[in-house]
Amino acid sequence: MTSQGHVNNVIYNRLAESGRVNWTRNLAQFSDPKYQQEWFDLMSPKSIGLILASIRTDFKFPMTFPDRVTVLHKLVTKPDYSSDRFYLEAVMYSEQQRRPAAKCFEDIVVYDYRAAKKAPLKPFMVDELQATYDLQEQRKEEAEKKVAELQTFVQQVEDSAGAA
């Protein structure tokens, strides 16, 4: 951040990282309690961990300080039992501007720190990520249905207003 209140572009990627850590911790909270510690350990170099292989950030507008930012992540693809990586999309919403400030596309690699190489996701992680992906798709379908219903309603109102 500069003295004028401009948020430096690197901060967007830090926000995405913090959001990704929180997203993973939330998965831990909703998964089987016996696996919670392993979810938390993904954020440390203890055994199996997650490494950001790449990130692409599409800036929508320059944020300024002070602002409150909400970071939302979603799975881009549905992992399977052979997956040693997964892809996330993050959106950063500016409360001050009431719109997305940036979008990030993240390539996350599963890494075994003990063996010093990539590793597949553990089966319980795949199960949880697949369930999360399926929920995302279900919510997307529900939202699209509501939008279609709203568009139909608006069209009916416009048609009846034009007929009067």
Architecture of domain 9-163: Roll (3.10)
Other Cβ atoms closer than 10 A to 125: 23
pLDDT tens digit sequence for 27-44: 988 888 999 999 999 988
pLDDT of 162 over the 80 cut: no
- pTM of this structure: 0.83
pLDDT tens digit sequence for 38-65: 999 998 888 899 999 999 999 998 888 8
Average pLDDT over residues 5-31: 90
| Helix 9-30 and helix 123-163, axial crossing angle in degrees, nearest 10 | 110
- Show me where the domains of the chain are located: 9-163
Other Cβ atoms closer than 10 A to 72: 12
- Residue 110 phi/psi, 5-degree rounding, is -90, 125
